Amino acid sequence: MLDDRLYASLSAIEIADLVNHGRVSAREVVDTALALTADRDRALRAFTAVWADTARAAADEVDAAIADGTRLPLAGVPIGVKAGEGPTSWQNQRLAAAGCVPIGATSVPRAGTGWQTYGSTDRGPTLNPLDPAWSPGGSSAGSAAAVAAGLVPLATGSDGAGSVRIPAAWCGVIGFKPTNGLLPARDRAGLNTPGVLARTPGDAAAYLRTFTPATTPMVVRPPSVAWSPTLGYAATDPDVADTALRALQRIARTGLCSIVDHPVTLHDPAPAWTALRAGAADSGTEALTSANNANLRAVLNGVDLIATPTTPHPPHGHHGPGTRMSVALTWAFNLSGHPALTVPAGTTPDGGPVGLQLVARHGEDMLLLDVAARIDGTADASPCKAKQ
């Protein structure tokens, strides 16, 4: 097996490179991931099921392919699978074909819950690796916790209102929601899309390249960014807004982006999102959605990216969010369909993790991921660390 600390420090791309060049076997990598999960997940509860036997068999198949001269873009990379998908879903079949090895199902909220920002297992709630008193966010709770704790470098998620980006922000990892419709999704409302939680933006890009070729040009100049702490309607905590803005300003000072004074003023998407989700859209839904889409087009005609805090408040405890709307800054982009990504932005004065959300034009997913790769580590001046 690999050294635990070495494994937990490697990106998915780095693991695949080691496996493809025969420096380590996929079986060694997967055995390390399974051993770490057996040890640490007893308390963390990121996984609802671990598929040890099938994972080892899949790793052996990867090793056999490598021995035959095949090179796989994600060779031997252990992944967590958001509960409800299963290892034979379309998404996971494509990832397995790229060399990924699913090791287990990650937690989501139990059915019928009134709030989605936590994970549930038969052993109790999923804990946040940064602080067990906090919720990890949700609904891709276990996926975020597993990546943050170093159990896997990559985990699948789905995002219908922020379910990838919120837990990524609260667990201090990368969370990426593609352009709606770019990847197949089982959602008649058109709000939900598959997504990924990852250690690095490069790993998120490798995930996307598994499904679609990189057709968007890469960044040729520092992107222009419009900053909005509220999108015109959200009740964002001042400490969260200040932390995210300082992260953006750090990026700008390095010359990796320019901040442009361009207001972003949307209508609160809550009524339209709720109506669409319930299959009860009416003329009011269409009017609100059309107005927001027009406002976003106008902004993104003038700048390359929109930046916001990912959530309006830090993680809540396991009792629930109360009246706070954790999705307030994310679900507008499920409604509009724009690609969006969160990167760690540091912590509030009292230690709460904050994410910086970046939003690009429709179809510019790879450009968004390229920007994130260039700024990786620059935004986060006070990185959170998982408690071992």
Of the listed 25, 120, 139, 326, which one is catalytic? Answer: 139
CA distance 101 to 137: 25
Of the listed 11, 82, 140, 177, which one is catalytic? Answer: 82
385 noted as active-site residue:
no
Q: Of 379, 273, 254, which is closest to residue 334 (Cα–Cα)?
A: 273
Of the listed 11, 120, 163, 326, which one is catalytic? Answer: 163
Q: First vs last Cα of the chain: how many Å apart?
A: 19
107 noted as active-site residue:
no
CA distance 144 to 175: 8
143 noted as active-site residue:
no
Cα diameter, the chain:
60
Angle at 180 between CA 219 and CA 249, to 5 degrees: 40
The set of residues, in sequence order, having a beta carbon less than 8 Å from that of 333 and lying 6+ positions away, is: 177, 339, 340, 359
CA distance 266 to 272: 12
| 3-state secondary structure labels for all residues of 205-269 | HHHHHCCCCCCCCCCCCCCEEEECCCCCCCCCCHHHHHHHHHHHHHHHHCCCCEEECCCCCCCCC
Which active-site residues does the annotation give? 82, 139, 163
